[in-house]
Amino acid sequence: MGVTEKVTQAISHAPMIALLGNPNCGKTALFNRLTGSRQKVANYAGVTIERKEGHFMSPAGHPYRVLDLPGAYSLTAHTPDEAITRDVVGGLRANDGSPDVVVCVVNATNLRLNLRLVLEIQRLGLPMILCLNMVDVAKKRGIEVDAEKLARELGMTVVETVAVQSGGEKALLRALDEMWPVVPVKPQPLAAIDAVSVEDTQREVRRILSVVAKNVHNTDDRSEKIDNVVLHPVAGPIILAVLMFLIFQAVFTWAAVPMDMISGGVEHIGALLSEHMADGVLRSLLVEGIIGGVGSVLVFLPQILILFFFILILEDCGYLPRAAFLLDRLMGGVGLSGRAFIPLLSSFACAIPGVMAARTIQNPRDRLVTIMIAPLMTCSARLPVYALVIAAFIPEREVWGAVSLQGLILFCLYFAGIVSAMGVAWFMKRSAGSKVKQALMMELPSYHWPNLHNLAIGLWERAKIFLMRVGTVILTLMVLLWALSSFPGAPAGATHPPIYYSIAGMLGRALEVIFAPIGFGWEICIALVPGMAAREVAVGALGTVYALSQKGDDLATSLTPVLASSWSLATALSLLAWYVFAPQCLSTLSVVRRETGHARYAFYMAGYMFALAYAASFITYHTARALGA
């Protein structure tokens, strides 16, 4: 048996630890520290929505498997993500015995809330360790918790941890080693949790606290001061709007230099290849297919990273749940709860995590409506399309003094997505006839400075996702598109460029019948098809299509001026409107099917989005034409 096989075998038999606790108490931070993984850590409740498994070796050389779970306030699950946690602990999931050790993570600054879950879990009778996490924050605030007394009161090992500090997990590792070898125990049935009433449990929590802790009521003055401004009924919404506006400005203004550098580099490589390679199929594949197509998508990396830079900072400092509160009234107006805010905000990255984050919503109808409108939020894959069309058609100038016009248009497109999502939600809720509005109950975490290490990791992960997409899906589609666009070649005496007669050209011309009324020529129609697999492929596809449509010296020039000279402004605006609504993403539709459990919702979604897209583009195109664009 090889060394790796031995290790794999040892791990598959290793004891399973489950990290359990209230939302936002630092389970994932601890999981990452133990296993060296990079799961998402952020300062709001409901970040983890899936069971994640990892493994590690303790200092004494014992192997462990460890589960990171969604946070829960109680094991009597209310939301689908809490149900995952309950089922894992109770050993109710197929292929997954109950955990051998439960590590209950609690926020040391909020024991009153956190201890209730500890007492509930204790009734299952599994071996347990209590992790008093965030002791650094508790100390700063003057909250004193006597870990030894707490251990005596609860009858379990209690350790102090700081999950965000290197070495902050050592006490937990020591406690695990002391517990070795772990003897598997069968848990009591979940019904055991209800053996004691909630009131009695609360009373017990209060009793324990009075014995083991001092100053538990010390509040976080700094967070309160910030909230006085940020949650102010007038100043709050203004601050939120200004923040969002500044982010979109930065996406354009900061990204200009790195984007020029990347596109300069890509053009340089294209020019070098055209110069040194003999004219032929291979040169065409490399220059028009790969460099023209993939290069034109790659250019958008800086903009995507700048957008995420801001989103990650907002997530880590603790502002997001505040924004949810500010928007609760607005969302209530269309029948959604403020809880929908975080799934919707995640959809700005990509609708897929957004649709999944809707698991944190308790009311099934609210959850469904949130899922249905999530793809109307502008995902980062639309950014390249928007940015390309804006750069080609909107002059690079400033309005009202210092506001970049391009950034302003981008802001408007994002805004159009949000407004239409609210409209659709209103319509769906109204037609479902449900009027009950649930009050928003959400914990407001303390603010803290964003962790630079986490920020760097978050950006790196984003860059990796984007580059992987460029290197796999986008590259493959580009090569395929190039082949379909290059063959069978032009007949003798052709008057159009060869692509016009190619397979892709024929398909584009067939689709043109449907899309001509909204101003899309056959070239755009060709790009829409591979754009179904990944939206940003449309940009690469336009790169390839137009590169193949150019003649002689025009080859390998940048796409922006080519579009500016080939399309009318009306067509450009119509394409922007199309992208606000179009259901151009098969992966989202398949996740909707999985998360709702019904294929029909994916069809409804595709149907309503297609109809909206067509109508919006039609109106935009004809209005623009009437105005002379």
Ligand X SMILES: Nc1nc2c(ncn2[C@@H]2O[C@H](COP(=O)(O)OP(=O)(O)OP(=O)(O)O)[C@@H](O)[C@H]2O)c(=O)[nH]1
Closer to ligand X at the Cβ: 320 or 470? 320
Nearest to 576 by CA among 378, 404, 395, 398: 378
Q: How many beta carbons lie within 10 A of that of residue 332, not counting itself? A: 15
State the binding partner of 29 from Mg ion, ligand X, none, CB within 5 to 8 A by kind: ligand X
Q: How many beta carbons lie within 10 A of that of residue 584, not counting itself? A: 25
- Please, are residues 325 and 231 in contact by the beta-carbon 8 Å criterion? yes
Q: Are strands 157-160 and 144-145 parallel, antiparallel or unpaired?
A: unpaired
Closer to ligand X at the Cβ: 110 or 486? 110
Cα radius of gyration (the chain): 28
* Closest separation in Å from C-beta 220 to ligand X: 12
State the binding partner of 311 from Mg ion, ligand X, none, CB within 5 to 8 A by kind: none
**Secondary structure class of 73 (helix, strand, coil):** coil
Closer to ligand X at the Cβ: 96 or 443? 443
State the binding partner of 289 from Mg ion, ligand X, none, CB within 5 to 8 A by kind: none
* Closest separation in Å from C-beta 357 to ligand X: 10
- Please, are residues 62 and 180 in contact by the beta-carbon 8 Å criterion? yes
- Please, are residues 250 and 311 in contact by the beta-carbon 8 Å criterion? no
* Closest separation in Å from C-beta 339 to ligand X: 13
Nearest to 320 by CA among 624, 26, 44, 29: 44
Cα–Cα distances (Å) from 318 to 275, 445, 614, in that order, read: 53, 6, 39
Q: How many beta carbons lie within 10 A of that of residue 269, not counting itself? A: 16
Closer to ligand X at the Cβ: 113 or 196? 113
State the binding partner of 163 from ligand X, Mg ion, none, CB within 5 to 8 A by kind: ligand X
CB under 8 Å to 552, separation ≥6 — which residues?
A: none
Q: How far is CA 170 from the centre of its chain?
A: 31
CB under 8 Å to 104, separation ≥6 — which residues?
A: 20, 21, 117, 118, 121, 128, 129, 130, 131
Which helix or strand (DSSP H or E) is residue 46 part of? none
98 class by beta-carbon count within 10 Å (0-12 exposed, 13-18 middle, 19+ buried):
buried
Closer to ligand X at the Cβ: 42 or 88? 42
* Closest separation in Å from C-beta 70 to Mg ion: 7
* Closest separation in Å from C-beta 172 to Mg ion: 16
* Closest separation in Å from C-beta 71 to Mg ion: 6
Closer to ligand X at the Cβ: 319 or 578? 319
* Closest separation in Å from C-beta 92 to ligand X: 20
Dist. CA 499–CA 519, nearest whole Å: 20
* Closest separation in Å from C-beta 146 to ligand X: 18
Beta bridge partners of 102: 18, 128
Start-to-end CA distance of the chain, whole Å, equals: 72
Binding site for Mg ion (CB under 5 A): 27-28, 47-48
Q: Name the residue with tokens 């990204």.
A: 255
SS3 per-residue string spanning 271-325: HHHHHHCCCCHHHHHHHHHHHHHHHHHHCCHHHHHHHHHHHHHHHHHCCHHHHHH
Closer to ligand X at the Cβ: 42 or 478? 42
Binding site for ligand X (CB under 6 A): 21, 23-29, 41-43, 45-48, 70-71, 133-134, 136-137, 162-164, 316, 451
* Closest separation in Å from C-beta 323 to ligand X: 16
CB under 8 Å to 314, separation ≥6 — which residues?
A: 243, 320, 323
Q: How many beta carbons lie within 10 A of that of residue 485, not counting itself? A: 28
Closer to Mg ion at the Cβ: 77 or 208? 77
Nearest to 444 by CA among 323, 363, 312: 323
Closer to Mg ion at the Cβ: 20 or 305? 20
Closer to ligand X at the Cβ: 52 or 65? 52
* Closest separation in Å from C-beta 117 to ligand X: 12
Closer to ligand X at the Cβ: 316 or 536? 316
Closer to ligand X at the Cβ: 42 or 314? 42
Report the residue closest to ligand X, judged by CB: 71
* Closest separation in Å from C-beta 51 to Mg ion: 11
Closer to ligand X at the Cβ: 319 or 482? 319
State the binding partner of 137 from Mg ion, ligand X, none, CB within 5 to 8 A by kind: ligand X
State the binding partner of 349 from ligand X, Mg ion, none, CB within 5 to 8 A by kind: none
Nearest to 143 by CA among 95, 215, 93, 200: 215
Nearest to 608 by CA among 344, 364, 425: 425
**Secondary structure class of 130 (helix, strand, coil):** strand
Closer to ligand X at the Cβ: 84 or 428? 84
State the binding partner of 45 from ligand X, Mg ion, none, CB within 5 to 8 A by kind: ligand X
State the binding partner of 102 from ligand X, Mg ion, none, CB within 5 to 8 A by kind: none
* Closest separation in Å from C-beta 309 to ligand X: 16
- Please, are residues 462 and 305 in contact by the beta-carbon 8 Å criterion? yes
- Please, are residues 136 and 162 in contact by the beta-carbon 8 Å criterion? yes
* Closest separation in Å from C-beta 418 to ligand X: 24
- Please, are residues 152 and 146 in contact by the beta-carbon 8 Å criterion? no
State the binding partner of 296 from Mg ion, ligand X, none, CB within 5 to 8 A by kind: none
* Closest separation in Å from C-beta 168 to ligand X: 6
State the binding partner of 133 from Mg ion, ligand X, none, CB within 5 to 8 A by kind: ligand X
